[in-house]
A and B are shown apart, each in its own frame.
Chain A
Amino acid sequence: MSILLVLEETSGKIRRASWEALAAATLLAPAESITAVVIGATTESLAREAAEKSVSKVIRVEHPLLAQYTADSFCAALQQLIQSQDATKWVVFAHTYQARDYAPALACRMGQVLIGDVVGIGEGPVFTRQLMQGRLNGSYRHSGNGPCFVSVQAGASRADTGAGPRGTKAPVELFSPNLDATQIRTKPSEPFRGSEQTVDLGSAQRIVSVGRGIKDAQNLPMVQELATALGAELAASRPICDNGWLPMERQVGSSGQTVAPRLYLAVGISGAIQHLVGMKGSQCIVAINKDPDAPIFEVSDYGIVGDLFEVVPALTEAVKAAKQ
């Protein structure tokens, strides 16, 4: 009943999502049967970081050809690793872009099917994942023989429960796969940023949007401060951009951008239909407005009725406090 937990690296550290996956893995089996896997060309420091966590063992899968991620190299290396291990029951990943790129192929190579994007694990085990754009939940069960591949959605479990340091360090092993440059068919470039000069509201994860309630351009810095604290882009409804207080490219609505961030915070926006159509797809909508009948509350998940000149600074403080 052992688990292989494949950790993912970003800027020399293990990604937070991987620790959430670890928390989820403990729902499948106790920490004593979890083996953490780090993968790359040099994995020493990653292994050190992983060994701090409540895992029974850390395996360093190391090869020069693993320096940069490619689906071909990762699949080949991990396939060899899994085949070298006895009785691996679960292979767990964080459901990241990288895992989505290779885990289905890896599972397929082993005659398996990944249960991806898991948001909950119940008795059985039964894996819950969302269907129909989140309108329904589906319960999945693995019915085949051999290892079961699972990728866990970020936010499904809390990284700070169950994955805390245990005091002792887990042992670290080295695994050197046989890789050949000819196996790797794709040539990825170094990552680059999207063009900086124009804001891309469409891909923003968080947006703070401001409307007519702000009254004057000189009040904008107050909202900007909240946006900065949240790590959000600043956007606006039409009148703000019409007045030239913010550039047109920051306008959300039928004559501007259509956005779908994870968090959309509407400040002083009443919620005319022209605006709603531009942001209704947001995952979580928060509205701050002094009019309790403002239509924006109809589409919001959370609402605060109040004077934005009081609520916004208070919220900025609360966000900053929460981050510390």
Chain B
Amino acid sequence: MKIAVAIKQVPERDAPVRIAPSANWIEERELQWAMNEPDAYALEEALLLKEQAGSEVIVVSAGPERVGSTIREALAKGADRAIHILCDDLNGRDALGVARLLAAVIKQENPDLVLTGLQSEDVGLGQTGVIVAELLGLPHATMILRVEKTDAGLRVKRELEEGWFQSIELPTPAVLTMQSGGNKLRYATLMGIKRAKTKELRTVTAAELGADSAPTVVLEQIAAPKKQKSTQMLPGSAKEAAAALVEKLKTEARVL
């Protein structure tokens, strides 16, 4: 089986984010970058399938130069080769614009399975995988926790809301978007990084792929949410405080 895994490089989760002067993206200087966590789960699933059935795992990632470090991390964890779609305008593209890039490269590879994370930790659109499937004309399933190879294709475990699950059978080739937490992630090792040096890393530019980048949906502005998280102490008697809390949970926090 040939598996393509689409991964994205995102700002490290706890990195302090500041808004760039353009006000429509964050200040990227001084940021630390990491592999998008749901994509890391997608990669993990691919590597597990590889260990079981001897698949070839190809990593695909779009973004500027810096994405190379995340691609190398994926190779270090066990992917066989990688394709870097070099583009500097990833943030200016909408989900369709990004998916077109990925789909163009994946189509050339003609894999049996395409895996990617459910959503990204930065913009969190949660659409790229589904649109890639649509562009490639492949069936898809989202929020997948486990993938099993069957004679007819695949059987996957999909997460539903409120603790429900469902299993879905679908033919290959197919696109799956992986939910976090289905497997345990492996950590990157020194040996993996050293071995990764000899693996193939091909670079193509967005221009070579000719994928249209004009967005239908535009991110015009970003801003800090009005309310910063700070502790509200609720005073009064036990009864008063309890009543105040329930009201806050209902109207402010909206968790009731």
| Chain A contacts to B: CB under 8 angstroms | 71-72, 96-97, 100-102, 104-105, 108-109, 111-117, 126, 129-144, 155, 185-194, 200, 202-203, 205-206, 230, 262-263, 283-284, 286, 297-298, 300-307, 310-311, 313-315, 317-319, 321-322
Interface stretch of the complex, out of B49-57, B71-79, B107-115, B211-219: B211-219
* Chain A residues closer than 8 Å to B135, beta-carbon distance: 108
Q: Mark B229-249, 1 if CB is under 8 A from A, else 0.
A: 101111000110111011011
Bound CA–CA A306/B233 (angstroms): 11
Tell me which of B11-19, B184-192, B196-204 binds A. Answer: B11-19
Contact (Cβ within 8 A) B142 A100 = yes
Which of B127, B170, B233, B242 is within 8 Å of A185, CB to CB? B170
Prevailing SS type, chain B contact patch: mixed
Whether A302 contacts B219 in the complex (CB less than 8 A), given A100-B126, A108-B135, A310-B238, comes out as no
Asked whether B130 lies within 8 Å of A304 as measured between CB atoms, the reply is no
- The interface residues of chain B lying within 8 Å CB-to-CB of A186 are 139-141, 168-170
B222 near A137 with CB under 8 A, answer yes
Contact B224–A318 (Cβ < 8 Å): no
Cβ of B164 and Cβ of A193 under 8 Å apart?
yes
Q: Which residues of A contact B121 (CB under 8 A)?
A: 132-133
Is A302 within 8 A of B127, CB to CB?
no
The CA-CA distance from A131 to B11 in the complex, in Å, is: 12
Task: Identify the B interface with A (CB < 8 A).
Answer: 11, 13, 17, 19, 26, 94-96, 99, 121-127, 130-131, 133-135, 139-143, 158-171, 181, 215-225, 229, 231-234, 238-239, 241-243, 245-246, 248-250, 253-256
Q: Are B231 and A301 in contact (CB under 8 A)?
A: yes
A193 in contact with B163 (CB, 8 Å): yes
Q: How far is the CB of A152 from chain B (nearest CB, A)?
A: 13
Contact B241 A306 (CB under 8 A): yes
What B residues does A193 contact at CB under 8 A?
163-165
A-B contact pairs, 6 of them (CB 8 A): A105-B130, A136-B225, A139-B222, A143-B217, A302-B231, A304-B234
Across the interface, A139 reaches (CB within 8 A) one of B130, B221, B238, namely B221
Whether A115 pairs with B17 at a CB distance below 8 angstroms is no
The answer to whether B140 and A105 touch across the interface, beta carbons within 8 angstroms, is: yes
Does A305 contact B218, Cβ atoms closer than 8 Å?
no
Alpha-carbon gap, A283 to B249, bound state (A): 11
Chain A CB within 10 A, most for which of B26, B139, B222, B238: B238
Interface pair B17/A302, CB less than 8 Å apart: no
Q: Which residue of B lies closest to A316 (CB)?
A: B242
Inter-chain contacts of B96 with A (CB < 8 A)? 108, 113
Complex contact A311–B166 (CB within 8 A): no
| A276 and B159 alpha carbons, distance in the complex (Å) | 27
CA distance A308 to B158 in the complex (A): 40
B222 and A191 form a contact (CB under 8 A): no
User: Given A141-B218, A203-B163, A303-B231, list of 8 further CB < 8 A pairs?
Assistant: A100-B143, A113-B217, A136-B19, A139-B222, A141-B220, A155-B254, A192-B165, A284-B249
Q: Which residues of A contact B134 (CB under 8 A)?
A: 104-105, 108-109
Contact present for A116 and B126 (CB under 8 Å): yes
Contacts of B246 in A (CB 8 A): 315, 318-319, 321-322
Contact B242 A132 (CB under 8 A): no
Best-surrounded residue of A100, A104, A137, A142 (most CB of chain B within 10 A): A104
Query: Are the CB atoms of A192 and B168 closer together than 8 Å?
Result: no
The answer to whether A140 touches B219 (Cβ under 8 A) is: yes
Known contacts A305-B233, A315-B245; is A136 also within 8 Å of B223 by CB? yes
Nearest chain A CB to B199 CB, angstrom units: 32
User: What separation, in Å, do the CA atoms of A131 and B134 have in the docked complex?
Assistant: 25
In the complex, residue of chain B having the shortest beta-carbon distance to the beta carbon of A306? B238
